[in-house]
Amino acid sequence: MTLPNPMTVTVLGAGAMGSALCTPLRARGHTVRLWGTPLDEDILTALEGGLPHPRTGEHLADGTELVHDPDLESALADADVVVVAVSSDGVRSIVERAAPLMGRAQALALTTKGFLRDAEGTVRLLPESIERIFSDSAAVPPPIVAIGGPCKANEVAASRPTAAVFGCSDIDVARSIAGAVETDGYRIHVTDDDRGVEVAAPLKNVYAIALGFADGLTTRTGQPWHDLRSAVFSKAVDEIADMTEALGGSARTAWGLSGVGDLEVTGLSGRNKVFGERLGSGEAPAEALQKMIDAHQTVEGVPASGLAVALASQLFDDAASRLPLLHAIRRIVEGCDDPLLVLTTAALPPLQASGSSR
């Protein structure tokens, strides 16, 4: 794969991660067009006014070209690489519009993370869903590069040291794009396991709710619940690895930057962890979620927990016993009684004398 240098990169979605990626892209001298969705108008206005990005608190990289909706056609014209960085809610409609317009693109890189349910009700990984959207538009998708790993948008935007993962079934594509995007601070591990990257990314948002729950207990009781948090962490990694293998990815991906690394960063801060913290502090889920919605904070792990449970039931007859932590989180999010007991039962090893209580 031969990319021009500099190349033209169009980023679809001016949210936190789309805008942040402009930092390494511009540092490497590429032509960068940042296209905002209709929901991004306030962000574009702020950036055009020279203000920092409202979500990352960082200024946009110098020289980034801003493009408003609906001017998608000119945004995508001559793009060598397209980055899809819209929310998982918006990905279907944006890709439907963009698919016929990116004929020249050599790769579609994906920072959007989530599972999508198709019209028949089947839950699918994002690259598969995107390929089907292209196919419905009678367009041929370029190779899809899944971007994962422990990357907070504000840190990428500020050039603080970050390890990303670029995954593509054609590893040469991942390697070429990575070579064109990497900087001293934005380093990239490449893999051919795009599926593994796409499984871990939405799941870590779900499991981060449980990490936050343990943090909330610590806050509420004034005593550390670090052992529980760490048992949850380890169990989450086990379940992500299990789901990854069942979906045709490699468990090694779950044990690396995309799984362990991304779960770690997601448990340190961010909305899913904060939502879990509220639950662990004793707030009811509906009330906690409403407060976050009122503050314009989407908690992606909540819808992802429902989709993940549905996906698990597509994969395993014994999904609930095989992935107890995932199912416990779903119950907690739905407001079950005694969430602490539900969480500990799912996260800790079973008793040797199984069935008995000690």
Give the interface with a second copy as residue ranges (CB under 8 A).
27-28, 150-152, 154-156, 158, 160-163, 175, 178-179, 182-184, 187-190, 223-231, 233-234, 237-238, 241, 255-257, 260-262, 264-265, 268-269, 344, 347-353, 357-358
Please name which of 211, 255, 240, 261 lies closest in space to residue 323, comparing C-alpha atoms: 240
Q: Which two tokens stand for residue 263?
A: 């779960």
CA angle 140, 308, 146 (to 5 degrees): 35
At its nearest, how many Å lie between a second copy and the CB of residue 352? Answer: 4
At its nearest, how many Å lie between a second copy and the CB of residue 245? Answer: 13
> Of the two residues 93 and 269, which places its CB atom closer to a second copy in the complex?
269
> Of the two residues 171 and 310, which places its CB atom closer to a second copy in the complex?
171
> Of the two residues 129 and 162, which places its CB atom closer to a second copy in the complex?
162
Which helix H or strand E contains 86, and what residues bound it?
A: none
Report d(CA 150, CA 101) in Å as an integer: 31
> Of the two residues 83 and 325, which places its CB atom closer to a second copy in the complex?
325
Q: Strand, coil or helix: what is 166? A: strand
> Of the two residues 2 and 317, which places its CB atom closer to a second copy in the complex?
2
Q: Look up 235 and say whether it is catalytic.
A: no
Report d(CA 6, CA 17) in Å as an integer: 21
At its nearest, how many Å lie between a second copy and the CB of residue 335? Answer: 21
Report d(CA 17, CA 151) in Å as an integer: 9
- Choose the catalytic residue: 113, 152, 204, 235: 204
Q: Which residues contact 149 (CB under 8 A, 6 or more apart)?
A: 162, 163, 164, 165, 189, 257, 258, 261, 262
245-271 burial, b if ≥16 CB within 10 A, otherwise e?
bbbebbbebbbbbbbbbbbbbbbeebb
At its nearest, how many Å lie between a second copy and the CB of residue 258? Answer: 9
At its nearest, how many Å lie between a second copy and the CB of residue 297? Answer: 17
Q: Which two tokens stand for residue 75?
A: 């945004």
Catalytic residues: 204
